[in-house]
Each structure stands twice: as C-alpha cells, then as structure tokens.
Amino acid sequence: MAFPSQVTARAICVRFHTDHPVLTTPYRLKGIIIHDFPGHPIVPFINGEYRGEMRYPRIQVKVLRKQLCIFGMGEGYDVVHSFRQQLESFQIDDQIYKVEGMDAPESELQLDQYADHFLLYKFITPWVALNPRSLALYKSLLPNERVVYLNRLVVQNLLFIARDLKYDVGFNVSVKVKLQSLAPRVVEERGSGSFKGSFTCNMILPDYMGLGNGITKGLGTIVQIQS
C-alpha cells in the first residue's frame, strides 16, 4: 500500500468503551486489527510496512485503563478517524468485545510552537528511557548527572519526533524531568530501564503520544496536566 501523501496537522486518540475490560496487550490487539481489517489503511501503519518512510510511528495502539485506545497523528490522523467508524466489535480468544461508545479527543499539532511557560506532562504508562547500552552508562553516573542525562534524552527524543514529522523547531527545547525514583526499573526481557513520573517542557505536545522505547507497545504515553 502506498505511503499516504496527505498530512493532517492534528492528533487524535480514540478510546473505545467496550462491554468488557480489555486485559490483553497492545501487541495482540494490533494482530487482531491486522487480521480483521486486512484492507484498511491502518494496517501498514501498525505492521511495520511504513517503517522506511517514517521512523516515529504515526499510529500507536495502546491499552489505557483497560480500554483499547488508538492514537494517530500527522499521516495517521485521517486513518484513525476512519477506523473508529468501522470497529464495532473484536474477539480475543472466546470473548467478544462489543464497542458501546467512544470518545476521541483531538488537538492541533504544534510541535514548532514555543510555549510561553513550562507545561507539565505526566507519563501514564512507564517511560522506557534506557536501552541496554544507555542503561549501563546511566548506572555509572552520579545522581545529579543522571537528571541531566535524562533531561537530554527527552529533548533529543522530542526533536527527533519533530524532525520526522517535518517540523522545524526554531527555539531551544528545555526539559526538566520529575521522576518517582532515579533508580530505573529494569525491563527483564530487553534489559532496558523504565521510569514513572513527569516532566516540564516549553514545547506543546499532543496528549497520548508516546516517548522513548516501546512506543508500539503503548509505553511512554504522556498527557498534559493542567497546573
């Protein structure tokens, strides 16, 4: 399927309200979507087909508060908008989940817009900031050095996302992480390090986008907290 040329400068996160709580993983839900909707434009966004055209995933499947949630931005916005109108039910093992309602908050993409004050964002799923290599380096740092290092990681990640979406950030991005602990929780299967907490930033970010590693598994999901 050809990579879409139309880019909508918006983000959307559709939260599907089902008659049963969703207790499976985003990985498995993606497989169900790919199997049940083989011809829908959402498929190449979540099966890796577009990985060569975009490094940051424009569509992210998540499980938040035991609900199926699908986030779309840029090229993925219209696709998610279309998909929400077609998903009426899905099956996991012997259980059928009927969609009884949904909500779909939207926002403009303003990745190149400077915020005149620091905005507070909370990680509502663990932020997998460290891969095995950077985890080893992180463990060798002093506490104050760890904070500086993590701040820099968030800045680098945000600039990478902005560039991948063809945004020119013409200001210095400033970040201050506020974590529950500077001791990372090691994700055993990959040897990566994750954190819980929040950060402040002078960049305007859409709710429910993912940062760090494991984005396609719903990790690193953020929401803005109104202060």
Tens-digit pLDDT profile for residues 78-129: 999 999 999 999 999 999 999 999 999 999 999 999 998 999 999 999 999 9
Asked, colleague to colleague, whether 10-107 and 110-225 share their fold, the answer is yes
Per-residue confidence (pLDDT) for residue 5, from 0 to 100: 58
Per-residue confidence (pLDDT) for residue 191, from 0 to 100: 85
Q: Is the predicted pLDDT of residue 139 greater than 90, yes or no?
A: yes
Confidence of residue 7 (pLDDT cuts 50, 70, 90): confident
- The CATH-assigned architecture of domain 110-225 is 2-Layer Sandwich (3.30)
Per-residue confidence (pLDDT) for residue 6, from 0 to 100: 61
Dist CA 73 CA 59 (whole Å): 7
Q: What residue has token string 């199997």?
A: 35
Tell me the whole-structure pTM to 2 decimals.
0.94
Output the CA–CA distances (angstroms, integers) from residue 175 to 116, 149, 178, 205, in the order listed: 14, 11, 10, 13
Output the CA–CA distances (angstroms, integers) from residue 177 to 26, 69, 74, 108, 124, in the order listed: 26, 26, 26, 24, 14
Per-residue confidence (pLDDT) for residue 78, from 0 to 100: 96
Q: What residue segments make up the domains of the chain, in order of their start?
A: 10-107, 110-225
CATH of domain 10-107: 3.30.70
Query: How far from chain centre, in Å, is Cα 218?
Result: 6
Q: What residue has token string 């509502």?
A: 124
The mean predicted confidence, pLDDT, of the chain is 94
